[in-house]
């Protein structure tokens, strides 16, 4: 019998996603603030390092602050309402009844243990989707755990967990993506340019999150969390360096920033990480960038600003030796990572079969059911030619949101068919039931 608790959980996530999709549709109609996200993300750190001149558009955030209309924005800098609409459609498709399933009697190949689970057949992969965001967080956690377990020891090197805060005293009036960009570039400067950091830190794993101020609707409290591997970090010295990084980053936006604290330093909190508190630290590091409920509190224009980005913020980043270690695994193939071996102790209580697959229909090859695979263990189907992303096609006007909807429906149907076959082959004893009542 398929568990009703699993179904209830699916329905709850479905409701959250539907609310976000509805908000996105409103946002698409409302339009949005100037689109800083793309401009700043596209301005790659490599260009900074090469000493290239910043494009004039970077400073448009400052113009915005001064109430001026930005004049030098590139043509496509306004989020395309069509792409936001298409995104809303993808989220709705991901959360439709036919796509969500609960399962009973899934078996653990190692222990033979049976368990109940749930999942989705096709995944939209959006961070706005309650159904997909947890999977992304789990993938980040897997990478962090792998790095922690496989990082070779170095003399006098330890792991530390550092929270970098950003005082919000001069952020009011900046769009969400610009507020986030201040934090992002401060981190960039600290981790690539700071001499102090280079001397002390061998590598780091960084994530970020934001909360929404109850009193001021347009101020988002952004902060970065990082797992840092290196020598002892003096808190005072790190505070000085972080404050410097923030000043430099604010200056990029034409803002002369003064830290409002008594000592004039932005706060950082450092704590030691050991084997015993590591799991807890990773869950702190890899939790969602924001709770799905928070998307509903964000003003529609700000939401369109975030959704109008071709890529979501690079919230999870590895640097230095951590990056080198992480390259040994591919997150899409966790079976090669030692942590992912399911045991009774570490198995995810909520079975999410798609956690191991990137089921983006457009960029990844269609999954071939196990029973069709030749016996060689590592055989992979030949790669499908890469299709241009839906986002780029819609924003370039090659296809309308409505045409895309038709195209996507066919793709999803195809993906669902193969996914079902694959699940049946992988879990021959299990019983699957979609929310629409179909069993397979
Ligand atoms: Zn989704």
pLDDT tens digits, 305-331: 788 776 666 678 899 999 999 888 764
CA of 26 to the centre of ligand 1 (A): 19
* pLDDT at residue 91 greater than cutoff 90: yes
- What rounded mean pLDDT belongs to the chain? 77
Written in H, E and C, the secondary structure of the chain is: CCCHHHHHHHHHHHHHHHHHHHHHHHHHHHCCCCCHHHHHHHCCHHHHHCCCCCCHHHHHHHHHHCCCCCCCCCHHHCCCHHHHHHHHHHHHHHCCHHHEEEEEEEECCCCCCEEEEEEECCCCCCCCCHHHHHHHHHHHHHHHHHHHHHCCCCCCCEEEEEEEECCCCCCCCCCHHHHHHHHHHHHHHHHHCCHHHHHHEEEEEEEEEEEECCCCCCCEEEEEEEEEEECCCCHHHHHHHHHHHHHHHHHHCCCCCCCCCCCCCCCEEEEECCCCCHHHHHHHHHCCCCCHHHHHCCCHHHHHHHHCCCCCCCCCEEEEHHHHHHCCCCCCCHHHCHHHCCCCCCCCCCECHHHHCCCCCCCCCCCCCHHHCCCCCCCCCCCCCCCCCHHHHHHCCCCCHHHHHHHHHHHHHHHHHHHHHHHHHHCCCCEEEECCCCEC
* pLDDT at residue 65 greater than cutoff 50: no
Greater pLDDT, 362 or 264: 264
pLDDT attached to residue 63: 40
CA of 11 to the centre of ligand 1 (A): 13
Banded model confidence at residue 162, pLDDT cuts 50, 70, 90 = very high
pLDDT attached to residue 384: 66
CA of 38 to the centre of ligand 1 (A): 22
* pLDDT at residue 234 greater than cutoff 90: yes
pLDDT tens digits, 211-224: 776 666 667 788 89
CA of 268 to the centre of ligand 1 (A): 34
CA of 91 to the centre of ligand 1 (A): 5
CA of 25 to the centre of ligand 1 (A): 16
Q: Which of 100-109, 174-183, 289-298, 321-330 has the highest mean pLDDT?
A: 100-109
Q: Average of pLDDT values for 417-433?
A: 89
* pLDDT at residue 61 greater than cutoff 90: no
Greater pLDDT, 306 or 159: 159
Give the rounded percent of residues in the chain with a pLDDT score beyond 70: 72
CA of 363 to the centre of ligand 1 (A): 15
């Amino acid at each position: 019998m398929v568990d009703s608790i699993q179904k209830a959980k699916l329905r709850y996530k479905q409701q959250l996603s539907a609310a976000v999709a509805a908000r996105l549709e409103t946002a698409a109609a409302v339009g949005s603030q100037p689109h800083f996200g793309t401009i700043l993300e596209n301005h790659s750190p490599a260009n900074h390092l090469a000493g290239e001149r910043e494009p004039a558009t970077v400073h448009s955030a400052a113009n915005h602050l001064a109430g001026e209309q930005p004049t030098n924005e590139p043509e496509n800098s306004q989020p395309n309402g069509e792409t936001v609409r298409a995104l809303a459609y993808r989220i709705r498709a991901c959360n439709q009844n036919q796509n969500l399933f609960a399962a009973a009697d899934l078996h653990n190949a190692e222990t033979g243990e049976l368990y109940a689970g749930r999942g989705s057949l096709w995944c939209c992969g959006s961070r706005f989707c309650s159904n997909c965001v947890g999977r992304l967080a789990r993938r980040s956690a897997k990478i962090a755990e792998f790095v922690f377990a496989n990082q070779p020891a170095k003399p006098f090197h330890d792991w530390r967990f550092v929270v970098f805060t950003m005082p919000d005293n001069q952020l009011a009036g900046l769009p969400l993506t610009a507020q986030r960009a201040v934090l992002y570039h401060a981190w960039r400067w600290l981790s690539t340019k700071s001499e102090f950091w280079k001397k002390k830190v061998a590598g780091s794993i960084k994530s970020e999150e934001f909360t929404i101020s109850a009193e001021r609707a347009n101020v988002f409290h952004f902060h970065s969390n990082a797992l840092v591997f290196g020598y002892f970090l003096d808190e005072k010295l790190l505070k000085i360096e972080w404050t410097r990084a923030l000043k430099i980053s604010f200056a990029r936006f034409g803002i002369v920033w003064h830290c409002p604290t008594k000592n004039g330093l932005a706060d950082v909190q450092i704590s030691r990480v050991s084997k015993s508190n590591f799991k807890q630290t990773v869950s702190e590091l890899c939790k969602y960038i924001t709770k799905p409920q928070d998307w509903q509190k964000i003003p529609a224009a700000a939401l369109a600003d975030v959704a109008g980005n071709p890529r979501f913020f690079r919230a999870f980043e590895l640097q230095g030796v951590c990056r080198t270690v992480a390259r040994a695994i591919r997150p899409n193939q966790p079976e090669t990572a030692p942590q992912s071996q399911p045991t009774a102790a570490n198995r995810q209580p909520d079975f999410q079969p798609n956690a191991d697959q990137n089921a983006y229909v457009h960029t990844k090859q269609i999954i071939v059911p196990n029973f069709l695979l030749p016996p060689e263990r590592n055989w992979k189907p030949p790669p499908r030619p890469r299709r241009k992303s839906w986002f780029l096609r819609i924003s370039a006007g090659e296809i309308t949101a409505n045409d895309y909807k038709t195209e996507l429906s066919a793709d999803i149907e195809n993906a669902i068919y193969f996914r079902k076959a694959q699940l049946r082959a992988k879990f021959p004893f299990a019983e699957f039931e979609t929310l629409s009542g179909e069993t397979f």
